[in-house]
Chains A and B, each alone.
Chain A
Amino acid sequence: MLNFFLKRIGVVIPTFIGVTLLTFSLIRLIPGDPVELMAGERGIDPARHAQLLAEMGLDKPLLVQYWNYLVGIFHGDMGTSLVTREPVVKEFFTLFPATLELGLCAIIIAVLIGLPAGIIAAVRRGKVTDYTVMGMSLTGYSMPIFWWGLLLILLFSVRLGWTPVSGRISEMFWVDEVTGSMLVDAFLSDEKGALLSTLHHLILPAIVLATIPLAVIARMTRSAMLEVLREDYVLVARAKGLAMPLVICVHALRNALIPVITVIGLQVGVLMAGAILTETIFSWPGIGKWLLDSIRRRDYPSVQGGILLVSCLVILVNLTVDLFYGVVNPRIRHNR
């Protein structure tokens, strides 16, 4: 077991180094050097230019620069934003709870709908229900989610006036920040209606972000269930006289769940990519919107740090899923 763990972690280290190489080169491959970018259109005199380069360590050989970059990362230093002059790490973690909240809600929606839908489709294989679920899943999988978001705004915000268009909570409320999660903070606060307002703001972005993971989970659940339902132990359970719902929920689902959980874990990458689009449409103050704004403002240290942190997050979650898979499924553990 320990061997398996070490092996898997060993594979992640080169990946991590590769990502740092990528983000390191990002800022150096962009035409013009960082000092000129910082100075903007005003320009800068050569003496000051050289001095700033030296201050930032950019006059040293590339290898030394990379080493300093790595050391900085391990000290939690990823540079300063050119726009706000705040440390990038601080900006990232101020905004991260908003994205985390949105992502968690999305994945909960995706699992709550996708899992039962996949099970029903598998049980009713070849029937109308199956075709409907699979058709909807394929549509969801093909959905340009930025357009889907616009459509939902058009219907629910513009036509019906049920939900707000943007933000996390109505301006009427002032909620003290305790946990960073607006839902929890609104729940803890004394303001009446704050929680409802938060939910109102959250529902559309969460649905939009949930769409693709939902489709993937439904598809995966269906095929995993179909595989399991063919197994002998399901037949035995049926032969013993157990009711079908019991067989499905107890015997089949438990085994079908293993690949499904892996797929759920792998949705983190999809969620982070989706967050860029979803947060932009709904003006959700999270990492995705911040990253895109940073690109537009040419705030390269923020782009660099943001991409590195998001990648590390995705790598870490994928590693966790991988390890978990090894723990619950001995076949994986012993094969390699």
Chain B
Amino acid sequence: MSEMVQTAVAESVPPGPLQEFWGYFRENRGALIGFSFIVAVLLAALFANQLTPHSPYEQYRDYILTPPAWQDGGLWRFPLGTDEVGRDILTRLIHGGRMSLFIGMMVVSLSLLLGTMIGLIAGYAKGMTDTLIMRAMDIIMALPSLLLALAIVTILGPGLINAAIAIAITYLPHYVRITRASVITESSKDYVTASRVSGAGVWRLMFITILPNCMAPLIVQASLGFSNAILDAAALGFIGLGAQPPSPEWGSMLSGALEFIQRAWWVVTFPGLMILLTVLAFNLMGDGLRDALDPKMKR
């Protein structure tokens, strides 16, 4: 009896938005796995110097192309083996996580910030401004992202930061379109009119009244944007236009690997596996976020 009363009381308190979100997110096993993996990579990246006994640049010339520890000739000093100049692969992978997460963060924050601003302006200003902005976005969308990134990197020159800028530009239209669409739907709602009538200025309307209500799709896009950014940055690194050697970026670690494919499978296998798992984790988390944040999916 007392139990029933307690549950009744508990049910009458509506869960906060964060609690509700966590409730839905927790149900999605894939999203949880993805989230845990990302946290693990993040922690490893943060404490890379403490975790690894070697430096990612130190070349152990006597141990060139040592196989992984469990294979014949492998050493536990180098658990995943060494590369063509004797650098410890595990160390480089852990340090590489830093670069991939950094580039992901840089790309997502750049395109999210810029894209949201431009989208807000387009959706709010309407008319000629809107048309011009949207046509410009169409042009960016018309080009394959890697091709556009290549063109931009050709102008800016190769390098990790330039690659991040290039990738951020290619993903700008997604954020602009999402923000613009939600701004247009939200602007016609009563609460915005009420705010305008009570004298709120343009900036207050745009950033404080409307923007918070457009956040859900932007968060989902940002999470998926992470995976795209990491993938494209790795591709640019692989073809030699992203992070430059000897930096331990996962993509550029693979760029010379084709030469060693006959002799050293471990040089080829592990960096790519890290890219795949990290991108997969972000995609799983993005799917989970979408399900948890999308009101249409809620029962």
A interface residues, Cβ below 8 angstroms from B:
11, 14-15, 18-19, 22-23, 26, 29-30, 138-139, 141-144, 146-148, 150-151, 153-154, 158, 269-270, 272-273, 276-277, 280-281, 291-292, 295-296, 300, 303, 307, 310-311, 314-315, 318
B interface residues, Cβ below 8 angstroms from A:
135-136, 138-139, 142-147, 150-151, 154-155, 227, 231, 234-235, 238-241, 251, 254, 257-258, 261-262, 265, 268-269, 271-273, 275-276, 279-280, 283-284, 287
Known: A144-B231, A277-B235. Is A15-B139 also a contact (CB below 8 A)?
yes
Q: Report the nearest B residue to A139, measured CB to CB.
A: B280
B207 to chain A: closest CB distance in Å? 29
Q: Report the nearest B residue to A11, measured CB to CB.
A: B138
Q: Is the CB of A15 within 8 A of B138?
A: yes
Q: Is the CB of A150 within 8 A of B272?
A: yes
The 9 A-B pairs at the shortest CB distance, nearest first, are namely A147-B272, A18-B139, A273-B146, A273-B144, A142-B279, A269-B144, A142-B280, A144-B275, A29-B155
Q: Report the nearest A residue to B154, measured CB to CB.
A: A295
A-B contact pairs, 11 of them (CB 8 A): A23-B151, A30-B155, A142-B280, A146-B251, A147-B271, A150-B258, A154-B268, A158-B261, A307-B151, A310-B147, A311-B143
Q: Is the CB of B265 within 8 A of A311?
A: no
Q: Is the CB of A18 within 8 A of B136?
A: yes
Q: Is the CB of B142 within 8 A of A146?
A: no
Complex contacts, A273 vs chain B, CB 8 Å: 144-147
Complex contacts, A142 vs chain B, CB 8 Å: 227, 231, 276, 279-280, 283
Complex contacts, B287 vs chain A, CB 8 Å: 138
Q: Is the CB of A19 within 8 A of B143?
A: yes
Give the distance in Å from the alpha carbon of A296 to the alpha carbon of B153 in the complex.
11
Q: Is the CB of B142 within 8 A of A318?
A: yes
With contacts A139-B276, A142-B279, A272-B144 known, what are 12 further pairs, Cβ within 8 A?
A11-B138, A14-B139, A22-B151, A144-B272, A146-B238, A147-B238, A150-B261, A158-B261, A272-B147, A292-B239, A296-B240, A307-B147
Q: Is the CB of A143 within 8 A of B235?
A: no
Which residue of the partner chain, among B155, B239, B275, contacts A147 with CB atoms under 8 Å? Answer: B275
Complex contacts, A310 vs chain B, CB 8 Å: 144, 147
Give the distance in Å from the alpha carbon of A141 to the alpha carbon of B284 in the complex.
11
* Pair count A-B, CB < 8 A: 125
Q: Is the CB of A314 within 8 A of B254?
A: no
Q: Report the nearest A residue to B282, measured CB to CB.
A: A142
Q: Is the CB of A276 within 8 A of B265?
A: no
Known: A147-B254, A314-B144. Is A158-B150 also a contact (CB below 8 A)?
no
Complex contacts, A280 vs chain B, CB 8 Å: 239
Give the distance in Å from the alpha carbon of A318 to the alpha carbon of B139 in the complex.
12
Complex contacts, B147 vs chain A, CB 8 Å: 272-273, 276, 291, 307, 310-311
Complex contacts, B241 vs chain A, CB 8 Å: 295
Give the distance in Å from the alpha carbon of A23 to the alpha carbon of B142 in the complex.
13
Complex contacts, A11 vs chain B, CB 8 Å: 138
Complex contacts, B234 vs chain A, CB 8 Å: 144
Q: Report the nearest A residue to B284, measured CB to CB.
A: A138
Q: Report the nearest B residue to A138, measured CB to CB.
A: B283
Give the distance in Å from the alpha carbon of A295 to the alpha carbon of B235 in the complex.
15
Q: Is the CB of B235 within 8 A of A144?
A: yes
B28 to chain A: closest CB distance in Å? 13
Give the distance in Å from the alpha carbon of A51 to the alpha carbon of B231 in the complex.
45
A152 to chain B: closest CB distance in Å? 11
B107 to chain A: closest CB distance in Å? 16
A52 to chain B: closest CB distance in Å? 22
Q: Report the nearest B residue to A272, measured CB to CB.
A: B144
Q: Is the CB of B239 within 8 A of A26?
A: no
Complex contacts, B273 vs chain A, CB 8 Å: 147
Complex contacts, B235 vs chain A, CB 8 Å: 144, 146, 277
Q: Is the CB of A144 within 8 A of B276?
A: yes
Complex contacts, B136 vs chain A, CB 8 Å: 18
Complex contacts, A315 vs chain B, CB 8 Å: 142
Q: Is the CB of B262 within 8 A of A151?
A: no
Give the distance in Å from the alpha carbon of A259 to the alpha carbon of B271 in the complex.
36
Give the distance in Å from the alpha carbon of A281 to the alpha carbon of B254 in the complex.
11
Complex contacts, B262 vs chain A, CB 8 Å: 158
Q: Is the CB of B276 within 8 A of A147?
A: yes
Give the distance in Å from the alpha carbon of A29 to the alpha carbon of B262 in the complex.
42
Complex contacts, A303 vs chain B, CB 8 Å: 151, 154
Q: Is the CB of A14 within 8 A of B238?
A: no
Known: A139-B276, A146-B235, A276-B239. Is A153-B139 also a contact (CB below 8 A)?
no
Give the distance in Å from the alpha carbon of A300 to the alpha carbon of B151 in the complex.
10
Give the distance in Å from the alpha carbon of A143 to the alpha carbon of B283 in the complex.
11
Complex contacts, B276 vs chain A, CB 8 Å: 139, 142-144, 147
A253 to chain B: closest CB distance in Å? 25
Q: Is the CB of A270 within 8 A of B154?
A: no
Give the distance in Å from the alpha carbon of A272 to the alpha carbon of B265 in the complex.
29
Give the distance in Å from the alpha carbon of A272 to the alpha carbon of B254 in the complex.
21
Q: Is the CB of B254 within 8 A of A150?
A: yes
Q: Is the CB of B272 within 8 A of A277?
A: no
